[in-house]
Amino acid sequence: MKIAMVFKKPAYLIYLFLLCSILLAIEKKLALAQLRAWLEPPHASSSSKFENQSLPTLADILNEDVPFEEEVSLQDSLQISDKANRVYCLVPSQYNKRGKRLWPSILQSWGLRCDTIKFFVDPPGPDDEPPPKIFKVKGKGGYPDMEAEVVVLPMVRKTGGICPDGKVCRHIWEKMWRAWVFVSENDVDKAEWFCKIDDDSFFIPSNLRKYVRDQGWSPDDKHYFGYRGWFDPQDTFVSGVSSAFSRGTVREMSHLFTNMDHEYGDRKNFKSGRCVDRDGATEERTTFVCLKQIGILAEPTHDKRFRRRALPLGIPFTLTYFRKKTSESWYWFNLPYSEGQMENCCAPDAWGIHGYKNEQRMLRMEWNLYNTSIDELNKSLDHFTVGEDDWWKHWYTLQLKEGIARDMHQIKTGGLSSLKS
């Protein structure tokens, strides 16, 4: 009774109102500070904040979370393409036992959907079998015959053996810069977007086309994108598992690569972190250094819910990888806390997924995406325990399949499609 009488007095109501207003203002300020910290990398300076961030709207979330039941036929996936965004697939590899095992699987799965695909290999040694100029695969089960040119690069260094520093010689940087020079001199007009894909990755070209279309990018502008990580708090790179470049970038960087200095011998005799052709130079860091030199920086490709579109750790591992406060992995270094993890890690329109060293696993992914119905994939989840690896693989494959179906529907109904020649 006494409390009720107190609050009948106008002065006390005014005080109460002012107190609530102050508390709400403080709460709002704290919430904004928390959101700002959440969006920025842990060690970010003002120059390394996330560019052009926008949070998803309720409509975005509701539209995406409604199951899409329209199926994608195998033939549609092979024939219908976005005519304005052709994709060139550059696959560095070796013509050895491993390559001979993986190449047929690539050409009977994701390689079919590249507008151009070529394998880039080292020169054969004196005792090695020389690679064919054209690698051919006979189609099976409704799949067409497929072939790809094999480009032997004029490499000076030979992969394999032991280098002067006692480590196994891996000269992937020399292979990559020579490959990009070849593309610029011979193939730059064959596509708008150029992707370097490791031979043990699964690539979905239609999702990359969708991404650049949604961004409204011109292929003749400078773009370098994929899974973006950090070398240090200021410098970012794109994982080489599935890195992507606009035609404008390919033209620009090939001029730089052609005129690079060349340094041979033990890597400890040369300074690292420079745009040079050097023994032991790594692909990702040197690509970043060279492109930064001409003003081209790595761009993030997560969706509005901060899920990634290139997955260097593959699935199901990424779907179960939890970020601990003590994590020191390169994967988490300097990543904003907004980046999704575990089941929220990976976008339904991802295009590059690492971890397909087994050719049967690559073909199984192809079968599930383009030959298995959405209903069958849904039912297959019941055969596994929720949370186990096979359950996660099927669950995420279902997300990808629905994403491909949505994009195919958009292309067919939006007047963007053309039959591939």
pLDDT in tens, 189-213: 999 999 999 999 999 999 999 999 9
Interatomic CA distance for residues 10 and 147, integer angstroms: 85
Question: What tokens were used for 330?
Answer: 């390169």
- Flag whether pLDDT at 42 surpasses 70: no
* Alpha helix (H) residue ranges in 40-157: 58-65, 74-79, 97-107
More confident of the two residues 220 and 25 = 220
| pTM of the model as a whole | 0.81
Interatomic CA distance for residues 193 and 195, integer angstroms: 7
Give me the percent of the chain exceeding a pLDDT of 70: 77
pLDDT computed for residue 80 by the predictor:
67
pLDDT in tens, 378-388: 888 888 887 78
Q: Which of 44-48, 124-128, 265-269 has the highest mean pLDDT?
A: 124-128
pLDDT computed for residue 345 by the predictor:
85
- Flag whether pLDDT at 420 surpasses 60: no
- Flag whether pLDDT at 63 surpasses 70: no
**Contact, 293 vs 220, CB < 8 A?**
no
SS3 151: strand
Interatomic CA distance for residues 239 and 412, integer angstroms: 32
- Flag whether pLDDT at 361 surpasses 60: yes
pLDDT in tens, 226-268: 988 777 767 777 888 889 999 999 999 999 999 888 877 776 7
C-alpha pair distances (Å), 379 with each of 170, 319, 366, 375, 398: 44, 20, 18, 6, 11
Interatomic CA distance for residues 412 and 125, integer angstroms: 48
pLDDT in tens, 297-343: 999 888 888 888 998 888 888 888 888 877 777 777 767 777 778 88
pLDDT computed for residue 294 by the predictor:
93
pLDDT band at 8 (very low <50, low <70, confident <90, very high): low
C-alpha pair distances (Å), 115 with each of 204, 272, 372: 12, 36, 24
* Least-confidence region, from 131-140, 272-281, 292-301, 364-373: 272-281
Give me the percent of the chain exceeding a pLDDT of 90: 36
pLDDT computed for residue 192 by the predictor:
97
Q: What is the mean pLDDT of the chain?
A: 80
pLDDT computed for residue 32 by the predictor:
46
pLDDT computed for residue 119 by the predictor:
97
Residue 84 DSSP class: T
End-to-end CA distance of the chain: 85
* Least-confidence region, from 91-95, 238-242, 259-263, 410-414: 410-414
Interatomic CA distance for residues 310 and 243, integer angstroms: 8
pLDDT computed for residue 325 by the predictor:
78
Domains in the chain: boundaries: 62-419
